[in-house]
Structure 1
Amino acid sequence: MRDTAALQDFLATCSIAPQVLELRPDYRVLLLAVDGIEPGPTDAATEAFLARADAHAAELLTETPVEELPHVAAWREAYRAFGAKPQRTRNSLEALLRRAAADGLPRVNRLTDLYNAISVLHGIPLGGEGLDRYEGPAQLVRASGEEEFTVMSSGEEKVENPRPGEVVWRDDAGVTCRRWNWRQGPRTALREETTSALFILDALGPVDDAALTAAGEELRDLLTGCGADVRTATRVVPAA
């Protein structure tokens, strides 16, 4: 198990490539590393939190089309900047808002449920990764096209390659999330038994530093309730 210092040391090695910041100089990410979680399935507390997020999304999209929400629109612009088509490959925030408003968020496991709800409630793309499954630090880069990304297809693993120039999260073993925050891979996905995790909160210009910090703090507070000895560390990159 990692103590707070070890979690902070890991975060210190995580990086954003200059080419990504050239694409979107307004980009910031809040990284939250957590250890000591007591794993578990969806429970009454997370169910209530998900219901709150579902209601928030339904009300929000009654007033404004999802593509006109400022942060969703900014992510659509970011996707176009590296050649993705946002109507076909939606950023995770837009995809979750649409699903929450229409059919409700999926009930997966306690950790996934919590971060999906925070994403919808705060209007921020948010990913969760199993920290014990990482090989080396998290790195946000523009892909060469040779990196490997493993997906599940018809119950079997299949290896894909991102397009050259695509923005991806990766570690030393390969891509962990394609198109910035579009699709996470199964290798590092959170599971019901996960006890150590890395959460990635993405922000562009419409979300200021105070709003990004507030989302991270609420997620951290929820996670500290997921065990008797939960340890956390955070880092914002690039620093304000």
Structure 2
Amino acid sequence: MTTYHDLLSGARVDDEIFTLRPDYRACLLTVSGLTPGESDDASDALLHEAETTARHLLAAAPVEEVPHVAAWRDAYRGFGAKPQRTRNSLEALLRRAGDGLPRVNRLTDLYNAISVLHQVPLGGEDLDRYVGAPRLIRATGDETFDTTAGGADVTEHPDSGEVVWCDDAGVTCRRWNWRQGRRTQLRDSTTRALFILDALAPMTDEQLHTATEDLATHLARLGPDVVVESRILARPTPT
């Protein structure tokens, strides 16, 4: 079983990613001691706040012109993806907010709301289903990705050069922050989780820190024994 200490210390972003986007930063946050639970009044209130924020945001400009959404659309083009067909997770949530964000369980509700409130792509994974530490790489095309198609379980392969998060067992999220795999997805029974916040300019380090702290604060309320740790991955500073 992967411990959150091993996971954070072993996590890495390949140099090819920083060649593609030198401004990229990831904040990895691990949490243990969660008490699983269904959507509740607190998670519903947070989602309502996020929905209101999204409506005000999109009343001022189309979703594709929201600064951090536009940055991610440009990043997708950089590795050959078509952002109008495969939308980053932030854009997908903002587009759904007008009709109401989904209510899944209080853990998923929480991170979806934080994603919208801080306008940052944010993924959540079940740490107990991880094999080794997370890595952000450009795929060879041989890696495996478990998903569903037409209601059936299928195994896909990313495109060569596609940016993917993976562990030792395969791809956990395709196209940087587009679609998460089934193996490590959060479940109603999840008690240990990994969250990844993806940032590009114009999002500042301070804004990324604020989003991470807000997520950590809300996670701490999901059980009396919650422990949260985090690590920032960024391009090494030239010496």
TM (norm. structure 1) is 0.96
Match of 1:143 in 2: 139
2:212 paired with 1:211: no
2:193 paired with 1:197: yes
Percentage identity across paired residues of the two chains: 59
Q: How does 1:66-105 map to 2 (within 5 A)?
A: 66-101=63-98, 103-105=99-101
One-letter amino acid of the counterpart of residue 73, structure 1: A
Match of 1:57 in 2: 54
**Of residues 14, 22, 26 in structure 2, which corresponds to 1:25?**
22
CA deviation string 1:131-183 (max 9, x = no partner): 00000000000000000001022332100000000000000000000000000
2:153 paired with 1:157: yes
| Residues 126 and 184 in structure 2, CA contact (< 8 A), matched pair in contact too | yes
Q: Distance in 2 between matches of 1:178 and 1:9?
A: 23
Match of 2:228 in 1: 232
2:5 paired with 1:42: no
Alpha-carbon distance, 1:129 to partner: 0.3
Q: Distance in 2 between matches of 1:110 and 1:152?
A: 24
Q: Distance in 1 between matches of 2:187 and 2:117?
A: 23
Gap regions ≥5 residues in structure 1: none
2:163 paired with 1:172: no
One-letter amino acid of the counterpart of residue 223, structure 1: L
Q: Distance in 2 between matches of 1:111 and 1:86?
A: 27
Q: Distance in 2 between matches of 1:213 and 1:139?
A: 21
Q: Give the alignment's Cα RMSD to 1 decimal.
A: 1.3
One-letter amino acid of the counterpart of residue 203, structure 1: A
Gap regions ≥5 residues in structure 2: none
Alpha-carbon distance, 1:37 to partner: 0.1
Match of 2:118 in 1: 122
Q: Distance in 2 between matches of 1:233 and 1:8?
A: 8
